[in-house]
Structure 1
Amino acid sequence: MYKPFRLLICATVLCFAQAVQAQNIGNSPYSRYGLGELNTNFGNIRTAGMGGVGVSSGSSFQPNTANPALLYYNSITIFDVGVAGQYKTVKNSTESQKDGNANLNYLTLGVPLSKRWSSAVSLRPYSNVNYEISSVGSLPGRPEAIIVNEYKGEGGLSEVYFGHGFRIAEGLTVGASASYIFGTITQESSSIVADTSFRDLELQRVVYSERTRYNNFLFKTGANYRKKLKDKAFISAGAVYTLNTDLNAKRNAAYERRTVSEALLGPPMLTDSLEGSVNVPSSLQAGLSFDNGSNLTIGAEFFAQDWSDYKNLDGEKELGNSYKVGLGAEYTPNANAIDSYFKRITYRGGLNYGQTPFTVNGENIKDMSVTGGLTLPVGRGSFYEMYQLNTAFAYGRRGNTDNGLIAENYFQFSVGVTINSRWFVKRRIE
């Protein structure tokens, strides 16, 4: 027990240190709106490889935070950590650029508390903001004077999750979770005027900067029912309802004069602060899955959240209705095979299609992708501990280049480690 326990502590410290840094995912222009680009993978790398399907597909060896009711199936202590990144091409009708980055995906520790009760704590991103947009034009009536407008944003919100799953009756489990949402988003807009007729004029940037801090609690309830149809045939139905909440928000704003290299020229001007709240709407996630009780799972899922009533601190509406449909499966040829390592690998695949909450130029931004993934057993494993290396990937497209919009073609990847350990069993022989 002690060797993996030391490993858990070291990994936790390293990942937490990484988590408190800015959550960048490469240039994402649509993260300019609302609370940024929302994290729609509520589970782990397993669910990411299955097209995001997770609320009805429990696992004994993977903590399922997508539906707290499924935590019940974790009968031994589980530590799960993952990192995620993406490489994307961002383009409009005339230009394109490539971006990429990686960061902490989640950090989860699941612990069984009794035969009918298991719990989990998790740290993961809730939203990400990272964009940089620029435009170049000329002043009316003075073509030798060029004006450069830039818009930048960074930061995001994090989530500390605490969930519980309970068995109520044969096949029926329920769960609930509380999350603390917190973080800071910084957004800036600036202008530079360069007049070629004045060669010795030092260029200056006029910047309007907003720094907004958010925090409050978010609550979820979940349920799952699994029924045996016949030998090696089970069906499960699961659902999660997230209650709406008002995030406390405090914004500090100011105008600044800076050099091209971002050095400040004097103190901030016209400083202002505003306190209020923004509403995170309720959401519903429901799914069905089929499994044979051993090595095959197939599932489908639907998620809906209506952001059309969301208003920023200025009272402006800038989001719309969102939904997502997913289909996924996983298969392990033979988890106990000794003649072939490849038979012990778990293979996953999936598809998802959805509408993001971003509405730009009167058009709803769609997102679609194909996913895949593997779980690779590490070492021989034993009654006391088992190690797994998890991977997932997705190739997809968000938005399009019509009507002045921006399209993002992306390749996302995730990699992580899951450690299953029996903490409270005393060994007779070391």
Structure 2
Amino acid sequence: MIRKILVFFLLITSANLIAQTNSASPYSFFGIGDEFSPRTIEQNSMGGIGVAFSNYKYLNFTNPAAYANLRYTTYSFGTLHKEITLKNGANTQNANTTGLSYFALAFPIGSKAGFSLGLQPISSVGYSLSNSVTDSTGGITELTVFKGKGGVNRFYATFGMKIFKDVSLGIEAEYSFGNIENSISNQRANVTLSTMHKESSDVRGGGITLGAQYETTTKKDLVLNAGIALKLGNDLNVTGNQYLYSLSFSSTGSEIPRDTISNTLISGSYNLPLKTTFGAGLGKYNKWYIAAEYENQNAYQTNGFLNTTNSAFKYGKSNRFSLGGFILPKINSISSYFDRVTYRAGIRFEKTGLLIDGSGIGGDFSEVNDFGISFGLGLPMKQLSSINLGFEYGKRGTTANNLIQENYFNFRIGLSLTDTNWFQKRKID
């Protein structure tokens, strides 16, 4: 049954994942869009921790060394529904999006190694903003509309192996790909044609992540673990075209292009420096767990012609601190289903590395920071499978310096389907 579900889901996943828009944030205009840190629903529900944590049946998108402890073939996928309230001081606007977060497969190799591969978005662009100029009577004399769509996805393959009793190492290779389109249209009263400035860019690149974990059990049956993950510096290459042309609009609002004023090639790259994540945790096997995690990365650099040449924003150092864990009352309880439920919670403080000058003159930059509180449930099913629910309340940005504050609620739901006999030969068919 699990394999039938997998085949069906695989048929609809690839096209939907690549085509979907998972963002309604104005901040998705910058760089490659609204970036998502690759984490499972279980990790997000615990504030984003995972570099030190490993489990015999759950996936881990933070540290490839965690797959050394995988003991069952696991298919996992997750979805995200996001509701955002945008504030700029006087005005408030609501938006929401729903999309697939990831689809992945993992399986053990012998008793000391594991392998995983999957597909997931790493950024999304999705915004629509307008700015109008009015005359003394309140009539609109000029209207400018800013729109963006697209995003970047990644395909990854991960291998982890236990090299000593308490030490595991891992490596992950990824390939990133996607398309981003940004446009600015301008209409003026008593002018027949409008103008459109459009950028259409293809993003491609690869990356390598190295990981290590240490885990030991004390005399009091407490599990102490620590982990580190290093995502090596890599480039995301950007190619495409920038167009400036005149157009008119039909009665239904569709574009009718007229004359092309200019057509310029886009060629550049985002240089992503080394990202370091490390953390430690303490727990009791199949009972409870708590961990702290810190992530750090220097500022992005850009080469070539990209929209990051705009002096109204720039990149700085980014970092994240997460604290979280779970409680599992009684994994083998017969009398109470809720004793077999995993209860997760966490908190996250993050500097995104994006700095914006609301005045637009490039002299007064404000950090765009992110704060979130999360909790979740792991609802057990048959054969070690589970339905995972995650909830997160948070705030990103600020209304100071003419910026926008986002208050958001994230609801995540996914399945972790475990097949204990995937690589075992059947004796009776």
Q: TM-score, normalised by structure 1?
A: 0.92
Distance 2:103 2:263 in 1: 38
Q: Give the CA deviation at 1:358.
A: 1.4
Partner of 2:212: 223
Are 2:182 and 1:187 aligned? Answer: yes
Asked whether the equivalents of residues 214 and 226 of structure 2 are also in contact (C-alpha less than 8 Å), the reply is: yes
Asked whether the equivalents of residues 152 and 189 of structure 1 are also in contact (C-alpha less than 8 Å), the reply is: yes
Q: Give the CA deviation at 1:331.
A: 0.8
Are 2:373 and 1:363 aligned? Answer: no
Q: Give the CA deviation at 1:138.
A: 4.3
Partner of 1:36: 33
Are 2:19 and 1:21 aligned? Answer: yes
Distance 1:205 1:243 in 2: 45
Q: Which range moved further: 222-231 or 207-216?
A: 222-231
Partner of 1:89: 85
Unmatched runs of 5 consecutive residues or more in structure 2: 358-364
Partner of 1:281: 273
RMSD: 1.9
Asked whether the equivalents of residues 33 and 318 of structure 1 are also in contact (C-alpha less than 8 Å), the reply is: no
Structure 2 counterpart of 1:245, from 202, 211, 234:
234
Structure 1 counterpart of 2:163, from 150, 168, 171:
168
Q: Which range moved further: 100-109 or 5-14?
A: 5-14
Q: 3-state SS of the aligned residue for 1:64?
A: coil
Q: Give the CA deviation at 1:55.
A: 0.7
Structure 1 counterpart of 2:348, from 344, 349, 352:
352
Q: Percent identity?
A: 27
- Residue deviations 1:226-260 (CA, integer Å, cap 9, x gap): 12222221211101101111122102111133334
Q: Give the CA deviation at 1:143.
A: 8.4
User: In 2 relative to 1, CA 9–143 (structure 1 residues): closer, same or farther, beyond 3 Å?
Assistant: closer
Structure 1 counterpart of 2:379, from 351, 376, 380:
376
Asked whether the equivalents of residues 310 and 319 of structure 1 are also in contact (C-alpha less than 8 Å), the reply is: no
Q: TM-score, normalised by structure 2?
A: 0.92
Partner of 1:198: none
Distance 1:372 1:310 in 2: 37
Distance 2:31 2:208 in 1: 20
Q: 3-state SS of the aligned residue for 1:318?
A: strand
Unmatched runs of 5 consecutive residues or more in structure 1: 196-200
Asked whether the equivalents of residues 267 and 304 of structure 2 are also in contact (C-alpha less than 8 Å), the reply is: no
Are 2:415 and 1:417 aligned? Answer: yes
Asked whether the equivalents of residues 129 and 155 of structure 1 are also in contact (C-alpha less than 8 Å), the reply is: yes
Q: Give the CA deviation at 1:413.
A: 1.0
Q: Give the CA deviation at 1:312.
A: 6.3
Are 2:302 and 1:319 aligned? Answer: no
User: In 2 relative to 1, CA 272–71 (structure 1 residues): closer, same or farther, beyond 3 Å?
Assistant: same
Distance 2:328 2:140 in 1: 65
User: Post-superposition, which runs of at least 4 consecutive aligned residues in structure 1 deviate over 4 A?
Assistant: 141-145, 427-430
Q: 3-state SS of the aligned residue for 2:256?
A: coil
Q: 3-state SS of the aligned residue for 2:301?
A: coil
Distance 2:238 2:195 in 1: 25
User: In 2 relative to 1, CA 119–267 (structure 1 residues): closer, same or farther, beyond 3 Å?
Assistant: farther
Alignment of 1:52-67 (within 5 A): 52-67=48-63
Asked whether the equivalents of residues 281 and 307 of structure 1 are also in contact (C-alpha less than 8 Å), the reply is: yes
Matching residue's letter, 1:30: Y
Asked whether the equivalents of residues 348 and 374 of structure 1 are also in contact (C-alpha less than 8 Å), the reply is: yes
Asked whether the equivalents of residues 55 and 240 of structure 1 are also in contact (C-alpha less than 8 Å), the reply is: yes
Partner of 1:307: 299
Asked whether the equivalents of residues 268 and 302 of structure 2 are also in contact (C-alpha less than 8 Å), the reply is: no
Q: Give the CA deviation at 1:99.
A: 0.2
